[in-house]
């Protein structure tokens, strides 16, 4: 009898708080989006599952002694995002960007979204009850970088309490890129601009691809050492791939290692979706600002392309500017798709891959500035 009462008092039904129930529903929603809607499933499925597990009463899976508590150290110490960045680096082909380097500027322009969201977060301090510090605003802004590992890395350093909401916002909007970007792209360009065909890209030699990650790292060392953890991991992964002499390491970095870390990272991020941390007005602010950041980033990229078109002798289709937000490779695909609507023979995919990977570099640089200037 005592046992039965003790058992009843140890059930979830007895111990639930309303916040936990709500956060589990958020977890299930993420699973639904990942599985049924195909939203970034590689991250949102583990994140959603982690959210459910960490909100189970009594079990303490995200507390000391529990699985997610220990896995979270991989984020806390900054290991997981950097290892993912290394794997992504090994998967990335800088060829299209090297063939047309001026598209790097599109990747720069799109980072305006980061700082727009940062300023927006600070402006929201007007709203009574909402309070964002500079650190928090910066961590929110980085959602606009449209790059998961960068957002998680910066948030883990500047605002670990907001990590869950920021990661969810970043990956959700990356999944929503095909819905968010096209209307903005169409609104800011004329039919004639969207029809612009671009010159075929030149061939890029293996040597250039080997030297590039080293040049990128060197520049980052000279100008912005605070960005070198991110840039360095990325360049290391890329060099393993392009050098061609350590294929077995490159393959492992791109496959098993990144897969293992992705599982652990997703579950750990989910463990930060606790009721106390997530069920706050702040979260609504973060979600809104994230959307603003993506929209402004997209617009800035497109406008920059239009500006460059005035001064460039070779034509640039402004649609590829939208790919500057990163969200690799989705936003490049979106540029390609919107371009095909206006001109069915105009394949922009390869041209958009340049600004797309430039956007990754751009947001790593912006992250470096934020990490360096905000104490």
Instruction: Answer yes or no whether residue 17 interacts with a second copy by CB under 8 A.
Output: no
Instruction: Answer yes or no whether residue 35 interacts with a second copy by CB under 8 A.
Output: yes
Instruction: Answer yes or no whether residue 13 interacts with a second copy by CB under 8 A.
Output: yes
Instruction: Answer yes or no whether residue 145 interacts with Na ion by CB under 5 A.
Output: yes
Among 245, 276, 312, 314, binds a second copy (CB under 8 A): 245
SS3 (DSSP) at 205: coil
Q: Considering only residues 296 through 315, tell me which ones interact with another protein, judged by CB under 8 A.
A: none
- Minimal CA–CA distance to 17: which of 45, 56, 46, 48? 56
- 307 makes contact, choosing from Na ion, another protein, a second copy, none, with CB < 5 to 8 Å by partner type, with none
Instruction: Answer yes or no whether residue 42 interacts with a second copy by CB under 8 A.
Output: yes
Q: Which residues contact 9 (CB under 8 A, 6 or more apart)?
A: 15
Instruction: Answer yes or no whether residue 27 interacts with Na ion by CB under 5 A.
Output: no
* Residue with smaller CB distance to another protein, 125 or 190: 125
Residues 270, 46 contacting (CB under 8 angstroms): yes
Q: Tokens representing 74? A: 């991989």
The helix-helix angle for 247-254 and 228-243 (nearest 10°) equals 130
Instruction: Answer yes or no whether residue 318 interacts with another protein by CB under 8 A.
Output: no
Burial class (CB in 10 A: 0-12, 13-18, 19+), 241: buried
Residues 27, 270 contacting (CB under 8 angstroms): yes
- 290 makes contact, choosing from another protein, a second copy, Na ion, none, with CB < 5 to 8 Å by partner type, with none
**Intra-chain end-to-end CA distance of the chain, in Å:** 57
Q: What phi and psi, each to the nearest 5 degrees, are found at residue 52?
A: -65, -50
In whole angstroms, how far apart are CA 316 and each of 118, 225, 274, 293?
30, 33, 46, 24
x/- binding map, residues 9-48, to another protein, per CB under 8 A?
Answer: --------------------------xxxxxxxxx-----
Distance between CA 333 and CA 347 in Å, rounded?
10
For 145-169, give the DSSP string: G--HHHHHHHHHHH-GGGHHHHHHH
Distance between CA 319 and CA 334 in Å, rounded?
9
Q: Considering only residues 330 through 359, tell me which ones interact with another protein, judged by CB under 8 A.
A: 330-333, 347, 349-350, 353, 358
Distance between CA 131 and CA 153 in Å, rounded?
22
The helix-helix angle for 148-158 and 134-141 (nearest 10°) equals 170
Q: Considering only residues 82 through 101, tell me which ones interact with a second copy, judged by CB under 8 A.
A: 82
Instruction: Answer yes or no whether residue 286 interacts with another protein by CB under 8 A.
Output: no
Among 108, 112, 167, 217, binds a second copy (CB under 8 A): 217
Q: Considering only residues 308 through 337, tell me which ones interact with a second copy, judged by CB under 8 A.
A: none
* Residue with smaller CB distance to a second copy, 81 or 120: 81
Distance between CA 117 and CA 170 in Å, rounded?
12
Q: How far is the CB of 96 from another protein (least distance, A)?
A: 7
* Residue with smaller CB distance to another protein, 17 or 206: 206
Among 53, 98, 165, 170, binds a second copy (CB under 8 A): 53
- Residues lying near Na ion in the complex (CB under 5 A) are found at 145-147, 326, 359, 363
- Residues lying near a second copy in the complex (CB under 8 A) are found at 3, 6-7, 10-13, 15, 24, 28, 31, 34-35, 38, 41-42, 45-46, 49, 52-53, 56-59, 61, 65-67, 70, 77-79, 82, 210, 214, 217, 221-226, 228-229, 232-233, 236, 239-240, 243, 245-246, 248-249, 251-253, 255-257, 259-260, 262-263, 267, 369, 372-373
């Amino acid at each position: 009898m005592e046992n039965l009462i003790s058992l009843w008092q140890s059930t979830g039904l007895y111990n639930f708080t309303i916040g936990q129930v709500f956060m589990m529903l958020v977890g299930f929603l993420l699973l639904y989006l990942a599985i049924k809607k195909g939203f970034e499933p590689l991250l949102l499925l583990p994140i959603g599952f982690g959210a459910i597990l960490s909100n189970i009463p009594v079990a303490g899976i995200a507390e000391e002694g529990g699985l997610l508590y220990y896995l979270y150290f991989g984020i806390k110490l900054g290991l997981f995002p950097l290892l993912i960045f290394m794997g992504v680096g090994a998967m990335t082909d800088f060829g299209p960007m090297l063939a047309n380097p001026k598209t790097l500027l599109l990747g720069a322009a799109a980072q305006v979204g980061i700082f727009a969201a940062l300023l927006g977060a600070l402006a929201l301090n007007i709203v009574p009850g909402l309070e964002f510090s500079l650190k928090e605003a910066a961590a929110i802004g980085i959602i606009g970088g449209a790059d998961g590992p960068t957002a998680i890395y910066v948030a883990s350093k500047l605002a670990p309490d907001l990590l869950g909401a920021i990661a969810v916002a970043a990956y959700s909007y990356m999944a929503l890129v095909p819905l968010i970007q096209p209307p903005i792209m169409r609104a800011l360009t004329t039919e004639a601009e969207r029809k612009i065909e671009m010159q075929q890209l030149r061939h890029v030699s293996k040597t250039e691809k080997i030297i590039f990650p080293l040049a990128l790292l060197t520049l980052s060392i000279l100008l912005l050492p605070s960005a070198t953890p991110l840039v360095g991991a990325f360049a290391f992964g890329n060099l393993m791939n392009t050098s061609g002499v350590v294929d077995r390491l490159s393959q492992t970095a791109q496959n098993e290692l990144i897969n293992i870390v992705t599982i652990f990272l997703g579950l750990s991020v989910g463990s930060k979706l606790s009721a106390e941390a997530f069920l706050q007005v702040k979260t609504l602010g973060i979600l809104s600002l994230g959307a603003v950041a993506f929209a402004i980033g997209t617009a800035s990229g497109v406008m920059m392309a239009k500006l460059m078109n005035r001064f460039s002798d070779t034509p640039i289709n402004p649609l590829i500017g939208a790919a500057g937000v990163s969200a690799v490779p989705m936003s490049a695909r979106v540029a390609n798709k919107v371009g095909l609507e206006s001109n069915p023979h105009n394949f922009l995919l390869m041209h958009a891959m340049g600004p797309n990977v430039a956007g990754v570099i751009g947001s790593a640089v912006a992250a470096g500035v934020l990490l360096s200037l905000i104490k």
